[in-house]
Amino acid sequence: MGEKKLMRGNEAIAEAAIRAGCRNYFAYPITPQAELLQWMANHMPEVENGTFLQAESEVGAISMVYGAASTGERTMTSSSSPGISLKQEGISYLAGSELPSVIVNIMRGGPGLGNIQPAQGDYFQSTKGGGHGDYQLIVLAPSTVPEAAELTFESFDLADKYRIPVMVLADGMIGQMMEPVELPSPIDPSNLPDKPWATTGTNGRDPNVIRSFALGAENLKSINLDLQEKYEKIRKREIRFEEIGVEDPDILLVAFGTVARIARTARRLGKKEGIDIGIFRPITLWPFPDERLAELSESLDTVLTVEMNAGQMVEDVRLSVKSRAQTPFYGEQGGVVPTPSEILEEVKHHV
Amino acid sequence: MEEYSTIVSGFGGQGVILTGKIIARSGMEEGLEVTWLPSYGPEMRGGTANCTAIISSKLIGSPVVNNPSSLIAFNEPSLDKFGASVREGGVIVLNSSLIEDHPEYGPTRVVPVSFNEIARQLENQKVINMVALGAWSHATEALSLEALQKGMKLTLEESGKGKFVEVNEKALEKGYAAAD
C-alpha cells in the first residue's frame, strides 16, 4: 500500500485495474464513466504490453474483450447503463466460453437513453442475466471510492479463479466523487498462474479452442451443468456483505452501493431521535447473501430495502426474508438520489 | 471534528470545482476523512456549477447534503439556489462584487467579501476562487489558512501549474484578511 491519493471513483477503478495486471482495455466513451476511459488512455500506454483501444462501439469493445481474454491476459471494459445494454450479447458469450474478464458499469438513469445522473436500475440486468441463456456474473457493488478500487483489484483474481466474467457495479455518484484512496501495489502479470486453456499459440501442443457453441443437446446440457456446478461453488465461497448495528435494531435497512453510504448518515440522524437503524449491505449482489439475511430477519419486525430504482434488489431480499419480517421498499428513480433525511422519514413510517 | 460540509457554487469558469477540490485535498493532508462531489448534468442549467466538499474526523456517509455547514456563493443565482439551505449556525461567504443585496438568513452568518476587487488588486482575475477560499477559512475556521495553502500548493503542482502557487498564496491571504 502506498500513500493516500485524492481520486475520483472512475480514476481509482482504472488505476486499480492496471495495478491488478490488466493489460487490455477496450471501451467506448459515455458519461458518467468517461474519466475511467480517459485514465486508461493516459496510463495504459505507460505500462509494458499495455493496450488501450477506443472501439468503434460498445459491441466492438466487448468483442475485443472476448478476443483478448481468450489469450488469458487480464482484460477489462467499462461503460454506463445504455452502453452495458449494448454489450449484453458479448457478456453472454464470455460467460458461455468461461472467459475471465472484468466489466465495469457506472450506472445512470434509465430506461432508454435516460439521463446521466446516478441510478441503480441495472440490478436485474447484472444479477439475473442481462443476456441470453443460463449464466451468472459475479457482481460486486462498492459503496466508496476506496472500495471501488479494492473490489476492482480483486475482481481480476475472482475472474481468473472461476473463469467467469465479473461485473463491478457502481453508479455515477461513486464514479464522479473524490475520496482519499490507498492503492494496492501493482502486481507483475507475468507472475500469474498459467492458464492452460488459453489460446497462446500451438507450438508443441494441440490447439485450444474457445467457444460457446455446442450443437448437440446432450453436449450443451453437460456444459450447462458444469456451469451450474461452478456457480454453486461460488455461492458457497464468495458471498460478501457488511453489517452495521444489526444486533437488535428497531429496523434493518438493506441497501447497496451509494444508497448504503447515505443510509449510514440516516442511521446517525436516527440515533439522535432515538431510532436504532441497522444496516445490511450486500457487497456481492450475485451471489446474494441470502442465508445471513434470513438469519438476521428471524429476530426482526421490519427489513426495509432502499434503492435508486423501482424495486429490484428487494425481490432478493423478499426471497431471503420470506414471511419472517415485513419487507417494505423505498426507492428513488430517474437519477434522483435519496437524502439521509428522506430515508429517515421513510424509516419512521415503519417503526 | 464533526462533519463539516461546504457547497461551492458559481458560474462555470470561476474556479468553483477547483475550490472544492482544494478543500478536500487540504482536509486529507490534515488527516481528515473527506469527500468531494461535483454536480454534473442538468444541474448545469442556468449557468451555475457547484460541488460539495465534506471534511470530518469520522467516516463520511452521504456525500450529498441538504443543509450544508457553509456556502461559498460566487454569484447571485448560487445564493438564490443554496442560501436558504445552509444550516442554523452556518456561514455564507458571498461575493459582494457580484451580489449587491442579500436577504437575511436568520441564524446563518453572512460574510460578504469582494472576490473580484481583491483579485483585481492582485492583477489576476483567475484567483478569485482563492480569495473566496481564504475568506471561507477565516469565517468558518473549518481549515486553517496554512492547511489550505498546503492543499492548494500540492494540487497545483501535481497538475503542472506550480508557477501559479505564489499568486494563489497571496490571494488566500488577502481573502483571509478581508473576512475579518
The number of C-alpha atoms within 13 Å of A158 and in the hemisphere containing its C-beta is 28
Length of chain A: 351
What are the start and end residues of each CATH 3.40.50.920 domain in chain A? Answer: 243-348
Domain count, chain B: 1
Whole-complex ipTM: 0.94
The residue type found at B41 is: G
Residue B63: list chain A partners with CB under 8 A.
173, 177, 261
CB interface of A with B, residues 145-174, below 8 Å: 172-173
Distance from CA of A172 to the nearest CA of B (A): 9
Q: What is the pTM of this model?
A: 0.96
pLDDT single digits (tens) A36-71: 999 999 999 999 999 999 999 999 999 999 999 999
What mean pLDDT is predicted for residues A297-303?
A: 97
Chain A residues 245-284 within an 8 A CB cutoff of chain B? 261-268
Distance from the Cα of B43 to chain A's closest Cα (Å) equals: 10
Q: What's the pLDDT tens digit per position in A232-250? A: 999 999 999 999 999 999 9
- Cell numbers of A149, please? 478500487
Burial of A121 (0-12, 13-18, 19+ CB in 10 A): buried
Which pLDDT does position B180 carry in this prediction?
78
CATH classification at residue B24: 3.40.920.10
Give the pLDDT confidence of A210-234 residue by residue, as tens digits: 999 999 999 999 999 999 999 999 9
B42 contacts A31? CB cut-off 8 A: no
Position with higher pLDDT, A328 vs B104: A328
- β-bridge pairing A75-79 and B4-11: unpaired
CATH architecture of A243-348: 3-Layer(aba) Sandwich (3.40)
Considering only CA atoms, which of A135, A181, A154 is closest in space to residue A238? A154
Which pairing describes strands A329-331 and B33-38: parallel, antiparallel, or unpaired?
unpaired
Verify whether the Cβ–Cβ distance B63 to A31 is below 8 Å.
no
Cα radius of gyration rounded to whole Å, chain B: 15
Per-residue pLDDT band for B55 (boundaries 50, 70, 90) equals very high
Grid cell for residue B177:
484578511
CATH topology of domain A4-237: Rossmann fold (3.40.50)
Residue B179: which region, alpha, beta or left (left: phi > 0; alpha: psi -120 to 50)?
A: alpha
Other Cβ atoms less than 10 A from the Cβ of A206: the count is 6
The mean pLDDT of chain A is 97
Domain span holding position B111: 4-178
CB atoms within 10 A of CB A277: 24
CB count, 10 Å around CB of B154? 17
Are B57 and B74 a contacting pair, CB within 8 Å?
Answer: no
Which residues of chain A form CATH 3.40.50.970?
Answer: 4-237
pLDDT per residue as tens digits for the range A66-105: 999 999 999 999 999 999 999 999 999 999 999 999 999 9
Distance from CA of B95 to the nearest CA of A (A): 26
CB A202 within 8 A of CB A136: no
Q: Measured between alpha carbons, how far is B164 from B130 in angstroms, rounded to an integer?
A: 11
A329 vs chain B: nearest CA distance in angstroms? 20
From residue A271, alpha-carbon distances to A2, A267, A278, A344 in Å are 36, 6, 11, 10
Q: What's the CA gap between A195 and A163, in Å, rounded?
A: 10
d(CA B116, CA B132): 9
- Residue A3: band (very low, low, confident or very high) from pLDDT cuts 50, 70, 90: confident
Does B41 have pLDDT greater than 90?
Answer: no
Which chain B residues are Cβ-neighbours of A107 within 8 angstroms?
none
Contacts of B60 in chain A (CB under 8 A): 179, 261
Q: What percent of chain A has pLDDT over 70?
A: 99
Cβ <8 Å between B62 and A341: no
Q: Please give the pLDDT value at position B167.
A: 97
Output the CA angle A142-A148-A151, nearest 5 degrees: 85
Q: Which three cell numbers stand for residue B100?
A: 449587491
